[in-house]
Amino acid sequence: MATQSTLMKTAARPREHSLSEPREHARLGSDFLANVFAALTHLEAKVFLSLLFAFALAVRLAALFGLRHISALPGMQQGADGVQFEQFARALAQGRGFVRPNGVPTSFRAPGFPMFVSVIYRITHISVSAAALSFAFVGATACVATYLLAKEVAAERTARFAAVLSAVYFPIVYFCTVWLSEPLFMLCFTLSLWLFLVHLRKGSIAALVAAGLLFSWATLTRPFAILMLPVLLMAEWSYSRKRMLTVPLLALCALAPTSVWTARNYRVHHAFVLVSTNGGSTFYGGNNDTVLRVPQFMGAWVATTHLPGRAQIEAAPNEYLHDQVEWQLGKQWVRSHLAMMPVLIAMKLVRFVLPEIDSENKKFVLLSVVTYLPFLPLWILGFRELREKERLSPGWFLVHAAVATTLITAVVFWGSPRFRDAVAPLLMLYAACGVERVVSQHLSRSSAVVSRNIPQNVPAEIAKSA
């Protein structure tokens, strides 16, 4: 009887200072996330950047060695872009100039990326492996640039989120395994915006000059960047105290290297060509009956070799006029299909926001879709977060404008995911804001669960520790 009485008393006695299972799990989960984010935030900046660069480089090298033979010449993974970039780089390194394999001078491709590779070629006596490895280093450095830009725009933790996301975002990683201009463009463009914001904050003329020169090289790498020049000049006029000096200086630096190339183009073609002569084929290839009506090509791009007017294009006596005929054919088609342009633009925008799905490599398409899906809701959450908090600082103004320029490019030409991902470092800022929102909400809910499950008779010091 005594034993039974003791058991009854023990059962009736409340479990002092103990937590329920759900509360314990919530606390452990909350503590784990809090510790992870605290560690990410509290690392010294130099340590964080070192770890970030090492991690991003390791990811890119793993992808490079896993997907490619680094000593092999570029293939057709992204069309003829990589093949032609390598040919131009080789010709430059050999001192033959920016010429086609037959020795004829050309302006068909933007020269920024081939010029960069030609420097690697000259140093290494035309080592394809060294060039391929350099892409991984450029990509990893772009992740550091993402942090630097984000730090000028957002809080420290958000900047670090953006940098980490840029290290693992699949399109950025993939670009570093093929001979494409995107990694170099990302680095130059992101650094130029960062230095421009540093100039606005500190009044540094050196930062302004460097920003302008990097911006000019970004334009030589991907010409659509020129759309940002009026935005930068307007921002400089609005925010600079020495606008009468700094606005002309920015314009000069932002156009100087590009103007040298434009002058070269004039000598070659006897006509004004700002950067390249492939705008017409891109425009006509993205505005025609095929991309309007054929389901698999809706909102996409097709080669002009499959479009009406090819005989007229081929009849053009030189590269410049060839490009002008394609521009003319594209404009004629747009003028005759104005009623259908809203439909075509909508299809372009759908392709613009979707992952890369046009590849014949099904594994690549699957990987693109799976790795892209987590980012889309983060971008949406980030946009909502920014809209609700009405962040319209100079930094966010530039970020919004830069994303808008690539959106304009998609509307005018075609809805290429490459256009979108060319400014992926900026998109990572929106994703980081989305992560901040998710993390804050999760930690708040976890804290609320813990608080609700603490018994009222638990001492204050135990409740506080829970």
- For the segment 163-209, what is each residue's pLDDT rounded down to a tens digit? 999 999 999 999 999 999 999 999 999 999 999 999 999 999 999 99
Q: Is the pLDDT of residue 297 over 70?
A: yes
Give the pLDDT band of residue 385 (cuts 50, 70, 90).
confident
pLDDT at 373 over 80: yes
CB-based contact 169:428 (threshold 8 Å): yes
What is the predicted pLDDT for the residue at 11? 45
Number of domains in the chain: 1
The string of DSSP codes covering 399-438 is HHHHHHHHHHHHHHS---HHHHHTTHHHHHHHHHHHHHHH
pLDDT above 50: residue 19: no
pLDDT score of 322: 97
Highest mean pLDDT, choosing among 32-41, 51-60, 434-443, 449-458 = 51-60
Q: What are 309-322's pLDDT values in tens digits?
A: 999 999 999 999 99
Does residue 308 fall inside a structural domain? no
Three-class SS state of 105:
strand
Residue ranges making up the domain that contains 138:
44-276+354-450
Provide the angle, in degrees to the nearest 10, between the axes of the packed helices 205-221 and 112-124: 90
Indicate whether 135 belongs to any domain.
yes
Q: Give helix then strand counts, H and E, for the chain.
A: 23, 1
Q: How far apart are the first and last CA of the chain?
A: 39
Which pLDDT does position 285 carry in this prediction? 97
| pLDDT per position as a tens digit, 232-285 | 999 999 998 899 999 999 999 999 999 999 999 999 999 999 999 999 999 999
Tokens read off for 66: 């896993």
What's the mean pLDDT in 391-419?
A: 93
| pLDDT exceeds 60 at position 323 | yes
Ramachandran quadrant class, 417 (left: phi over 0; alpha: psi -120 to 50; beta: rest): alpha
| C-alpha angle 209-212-217 in degrees, rounded to nearest 5 | 125
**Which has the closest alpha carbon to 301: 238, 257, 348, 267?**
348
Alpha carbon distance 435, 154 (integer Å): 13
The answer to whether 60 touches 140, Cβ cutoff 8 Å, is: yes
In a domain, 238, yes or no: yes
Is residue 372 within 8 A of residue 170, CB to CB? The reply is yes
CA–CA dist 135, 130 (Å, integer): 9
pLDDT of residue 457: 53
Residue 461 has pLDDT above 70, yes or no: no
Sequence-ordered alpha helix ranges (H) in 203-318: 205-221, 229-239, 243-269, 279-286, 289-293, 310-315
Q: Does residue 13 register a pLDDT over 80?
A: no
Question: Tokens standing for 424?
Answer: 């992926």
Percent of the chain's residues with pLDDT above 90: 74
Residue 29's pLDDT band (boundaries 50, 70, 90)? very low
d(CA 221, CA 215): 10
300 domain residue, yes or no: no
Task: Read off the pLDDT of residues 36-50 as tens digits, 9 standing for 90 and up.
Answer: 666 677 789 999 999
DSSP for 12-34, please give it: HS--TT---HHHHHHHHHHHHHH
Share of the chain above pLDDT 70, in %: 86
In the chain, the amino acid numbered 375 is F
Reported in sequence order, the residue ranges of 295-409 that DSSP labels E, i.e. its strands, are none
pLDDT of residue 107: 97
SS3 458: coil
Looking at residue 390, what is its pLDDT? 59
Give the model's confidence band at 7: pLDDT under 50 very low, under 70 low, under 90 confident, else very high.
very low
pLDDT band at 10 (very low <50, low <70, confident <90, very high): very low
**Which of 73-77, 230-234, 460-464 has the largest mean confidence?**
230-234
DSSP structure string for 117-185: HHHHHHHHTS-HHHHHHHHHHHHHHHHHHHHHHHHHHS-HHHHHHHHHHHHH-HHHHHHTTTT-SHHHH
- pLDDT-based confidence at 440, cuts 50/70/90? confident
SS3 category, 367: helix
Question: For position 1, what pLDDT does the model report?
Answer: 46
On whether residue 362 sits in a domain, the answer given is yes
C-alpha to C-alpha distances, 220 to 259, 275, 352, 434, nearest whole angstrom: 10, 6, 23, 33
Read off the pLDDT of each residue in 141-146 and give the average, rounded to a whole number: 98
Residue keyed to tokens 């892409």: 135
Residue 80: beta bridge partners?
A: 78
The answer to whether residue 349 is domain-embedded is no
User: Looking up tokens 């054929």, which residue turns up?
Assistant: 294
> What pLDDT, on the 0 to 100 scale, is given for residue 360?
76
User: What pLDDT does residue 358 have?
Assistant: 79
Q: What is the pLDDT of residue 77?
A: 74
Return the structure tokens found at 408: 């304009």
pLDDT of residue 225: 96
- The CA distance from 121 to 18, in Å, is 68
Domain presence at residue 114: yes
Mean pLDDT of 330-342: 98
pLDDT of residue 75: 84
What is d(CA 434, CA 376) in angstroms, rounded to the nearest whole number? Answer: 10
77 φ, ψ (degrees, to nearest 5):
-60, -35
Q: Global pTM?
A: 0.88
Distances (CA, A) of 5 to 11, 13, 14, 38: 10, 12, 16, 50
pLDDT band at 364 (very low <50, low <70, confident <90, very high): confident
Least confident range from 14-28, 219-233, 346-360: namely 14-28
pLDDT at 388 over 80: no
pLDDT of 37:
64
In a domain, 27, yes or no: no
